[in-house]
Amino acid sequence: MAERSLKDRALALLARRDHSCLELRRKLATHGEAAEIEEVLARLQELGLLSEERFANARAGSRSQRFGDRRIRHDLQQAGVPSTLIDEAVTGLAQTELERARNVWQKKFGEKVGAGPQTAQDYARQARFLSGRGFGADTVRRVLREMPDDAPDNADAI
């Protein structure tokens, strides 16, 4: 049985999902020489089958329901996406970071807690959870100090 060509391997990977150039380069590295890989990647880009912009927008969109801007930016940087495309992808998200943080918090704690964190321990635990998801400190504070119906400041409860 004949060995699959680099182009076939790349097309099979791209058929599953969009990849960044860096990801595809890494996945193809064990199957060919660097010059061959670069040639295949250049050809795929010419044909529009490999696009950093499309990858950045797709990855940011899929991650946006669970993660904050910091985490999305980090993931895209790790995938080798240029910073200008990262900025465009994060800016172009349908919801703001605050809206996404509210949704993530509501799914995890909303029904259990009722009106936000009731103790300092609850506040710290929920803040760590949201921070770990990549939401900024200001966003975390705003989410945890609001009532579930988006009324301002519930700081007396803490």
Structure-block tokens of residue 24 = 């595809």
60-73 pLDDT, tens per residue?
999 998 999 999 99
Structure-block tokens of residue 47 = 């044909």
**Fold observed for domain 97-157:** Arc Repressor Mutant, subunit A (1.10.10)
> Looking at per-residue confidence, does 62 or 150 come out higher?
62
**pLDDT computed for residue 76 by the predictor:** 96
Burial 40-71 (b: 16+ CB within 10 A, else e): bbeebeeeeebbbeebbbebbeebbeebbbbb
Of 81, 5, 71, 78, give the one whose Cα is nearest residue 43: 5
Return the percentage of the chain with pLDDT > 90, whole number. 72
**Fold observed for domain 1-50:** Arc Repressor Mutant, subunit A (1.10.10)
